[in-house]
Structure 1
Amino acid sequence: MTGTGSDQASLARRLRIAVLRCERLPRFVTWEIPDVESLFDDDHRLLDAFAERGVDAEPVAWSSAEVDWNAYDAVVIRSTWDYVDHLPQFLETVAAIERSSALLLNPEGAVRWNADKHYLDDLDRLGVPIVPLVRGTPRTGARLSADISESGWDELVVKPAVGVGGSGVVRTTAATLQQALDAFPPDAEVMVQPFADAILDEGELSFIFIGGSLSHVLRKRPAIGDFRAHGIYGGTIEVSDVADSDVAEVQAMLTRLPYDLLYARVDVVRVHGRLAVLELELIEPMLYFGLAPGSAARFAEATLLRFERRTRPAR
C-alpha cells in the first residue's frame, strides 16, 4: 500500500469487509467429505490476514437473506461454489452489491462474463490462445460429431457451459461422443474439446495473480486413472517454478482483458508447445494460500490498496 503507516492503520481500522462464501456445497458434490470446513482454508487464512491488519472481516453466505451490503466497505467474492446451482439468484446478488456503496471484488462485469464458458470464445477473439472447442447440445450431436471429425480430434472432453470444480465433465472419444452427450439434458449447452495429453505428464498449470502481479504458480496433476486435475478428485497440487517465458505469456493473456481485477487464476495446459487456456477463474477459484506462504497477506494488502485507491481524492 502507499501512504504512511499511520494512514494505512487509520484506513484499516474503519474497514468492514464481507468475504463471500457458499451456504452449502454445490449439488454435484455427492460423496462424503470428512472435513468440509477444510475446503474453506483459503477463507480462513484470508480472514486471519485481514484481522492482522486491523480489518473487521467476516464470512457471509452470498445467499443470505436481507443482507445490508451498504454496511460493508468492501465485498470480496471467494468460496461461492454453489452459484452454479442458482446462477440467476447469484447474479442478482452480485448486481445488488454493485449497486450498494460497497466495493465489489471482482467487479460485476467480470463476474457476469466469467460465469458462462462463452468467455472462452471472447478470449479467442481477443487473441488469447485457448484449447480449441466446439459447442452444441445433445440434440445437435450429429453436427458436433461432424465438426469433430473435420477437426481430427479423437480423445475428447465434454463440459457443461456453466460449472465449477470439474462438475459434469466427462472424457470420451469421437466414436462414443453421442453416448457421452446422452448423459446431459437434451437442451443443455455443452462444449467439446480435444483432450490435452500434457495434463497427464507436465500437468495443468494455474497462475495466480493478485493485484495484477503474479503471486504463485501451481502444478496440478490428476490421480492415476482420472483425468481431472483437481484436488477433490484425488489429484496432486504443488507450488511450482516455471520458465520466465511462460510467466510472460500468461501475463500477456491477462493484459487483453477489459477488467480491473483483484485476483485471477489462469489455468493453462501446453498444446503443441504453447500454453493454452483451459479455464480463466475470476469468481471463486481456490487459490491455495496454504501452499504459498505470504499469499493471503498479499491478497489482503491488495484489497486494502483497491479500497484506498477508490477513496483517494482526485488531484
Structure 2
Amino acid sequence: MTEILLVTCAALPDGEPEGQLLVDAFARRGASARWVAWDADDVDWAAADLVAVRATWDYDARVEEFLGWAERIEAAGARVLNGAGVFTWNTDKAYLAALAEAGVPVVPTVVVDGEESLPAAVAEFGRAVVKPRTAAGGRGVVVFDLEAGGPSDLDESALEMGPWVVQPLVESIHTEGEWSVYVLGGHVVSAARKMPAPGDIRVHEQYGGHTVAAEVTAGHGALALACVEVAQELLGRRLPYARVDQMRLADGTLAVSELEVTEPGLYLDQLPGNADAFADLALGELSSPG
C-alpha cells in the first residue's frame, strides 16, 4: 500500500486542525497516511512513498535544524513535496522582495538586516508593520505608528531578533481582511477569508482572529496563479502546492502578503474539501517524475 507521511511538530501529534480528514482522504484512495513529527528520531523517511510537510509550526524557532532535516532526508532518498530548496527560500520573508522585483504585485516590503536601517524603513511607511524575516503564526509582529505622533526614535525593545521585513500597515485588514487562495496541482481549488479581532491586525485564531470559507473571485484566483508561476520561474521547479495570501491596498490593487509553500494550513475546519484536493495532488505526484 502507498504510504504517505504527513509531517507535523511534536506539539501537534494529530496534525493541523481536522487533520484526520487528510488521513481519511488518502484512505479512500487506497493509500495509508499518518502524522509524524519532523524531529522524531524513529522514522524511516526514505521508506515512505511521499513526505508532505503540513504542520511543522515550530520551525521558526529552529529554522536551521528544520532546514537541515529536510535536506538530510532528501539526500537519504525521501521524496518531499515542494522540497528542501523551496523551504529554504520560503522561510525567509525576503522572498517577497524577490517576487516584487519579478513583477508580482506584493505588499511593499523592505528587507532590513540591521537595527541601524530600521528607523528609515519604518519612516518610509509611517504606519509600519515589522516582522522577523523568519516567523510563523503571527509571532514577532510589531506595529509602529509614527503618524499617531509616535517617537522619532523607535523603541525596539518589543522586537524579536532581526533581520526583519518592514511593510506598510494595510488598512483593509480591518474591513476586508486577508484572503488565502489555494493552488493545488496547478489549479485554484478554494479560498478562505481571514479577519483579525478588533484593534489587532493578526488574523490567527490564537490572537482572536477568525476564518471563513469564501468564493474565489476572478481577481484573487488570477493573482494566485500568477504568483505561483513567477515563484516557479525564480526557483526553477514546480510547486505542487501553494497558499497565496492576499490583501487589498489603498488604491484597490490586490497584492500578495505571503506565499506559503512550506507548511500552509489548509483550514480544513472551514474548507474540508481541501483534504480531497490535497490527497489528489499528492498521489498524482507519485505518477510523475521525481
Residue by residue over 1:105-133, the C-alpha shift from the partner in whole angstroms, topping out at 9 and shown as x without a partner, is 12222111101111112111211111112
Partner of 2:29: 53
Distance 1:309 1:137, change over 3 A: closer
Structure 1 equivalent of residue 239 of structure 2: 261
Amino acid at match of 2:273: G
Once the two structures are superposed, the pairs formed by residues 276-287 of structure 1 within 5 Å of their partners are: 276-287=255-266
Partner of 1:237, secondary structure, is: strand
3-state DSSP of counterpart to 1:251: helix
Runs of at least 5 residues in structure 2 that lack an aligned partner in the other structure:
none
Cα drift, residue 41 of structure 1? 2.2
Per-residue CA distance 1:225-265 (angstroms, 9 max, x = gap): 21111222111211112431331122112111223122111
Superposed displacement of residue 144, structure 1: 3.0
- Matched letter for residue 4 of structure 2: I
Change (3 A) 1:51 1:178: farther
Tell me if structure 2 keeps the 8 A contact 1:135–1:144: no
1:120 equivalent in alignment to 2:107:
no
- Deviation at residue 217 of structure 1 after TM alignment: 0.9
8 Å Cα contact 2:227/2:244 also seen in 1: no
- Kept in 2: contact 1:268–1:278 (CA 8 A): yes
SS in structure 1 at match of 2:58: helix
Amino acid at match of 1:22: C
CA radius of gyration, larger in: 1
2:185 counterpart of 1:206: no
Alpha-carbon separation, structure 2, partners of 1:102 and 1:298: 22
RMSD of aligned C-alpha atoms? 2.1
Q: Which runs of 5+ in 1 are unaligned?
A: 1-13, 26-35
Q: Give, in whole Å, the separation in 2 of the partners of 1:276 and 1:97.
A: 35
Q: Distance in 2 between matches of 1:86 and 1:196?
A: 29
Aligned counterpart, 1:104? 80
Contact 1:49–1:300 (CA under 8 A) maintained in structure 2: yes
Q: C-alpha distance in 1, partners of 2:101/2:74?
A: 28
C-alpha contact (below 8 Å) 1:170/1:180 kept by paired residues: no
Question: Which one-letter code corresponds to 2:45 in the other structure?
Answer: W
Partner of 1:16: 3
Q: Are residues 42 and 101 of structure 1, via their aligned partners in 2, closer, same or farther at CA, if it must alter by over 3 Å?
A: farther
Give, in whole Å, the separation in 1 of the partners of 2:202 and 2:283: 35
TM-score normalised by L of structure 2? 0.90
Alignment of 1:1-315 (within 5 A): 14-24=1-11, 40-136=16-112, 139-140=115-116, 143-149=117-123, 151=124, 153-174=125-146, 175-176=150-151, 178-184=153-159, 188-258=162-232, 259-271=237-249, 272-310=251-289
Amino acid at match of 1:159: K
Q: Report sequence identity in percent.
A: 38
Amino acid corresponding to residue 166 of structure 1 in structure 2: G
How much does 1:148 deviate?
A: 4.0
CA distance in 2, matches of 1:177, 1:85: 31
**1-structure distance, mates of 2:71, 2:192:** 32
Q: CA deviation at 1:156?
A: 1.4
CA distance in 1, matches of 2:78, 2:5: 9
SS in 2 for 1:40: coil
Letter in 2 for 1:302: L
- For residues 76 and 147 of structure 1, the distance between their equivalents in structure 2, rounded to whole angstroms, comes to 37
Amino acid at match of 1:156: A
Count of paired positions: 282
SS state of the match for residue 16, structure 1?
strand
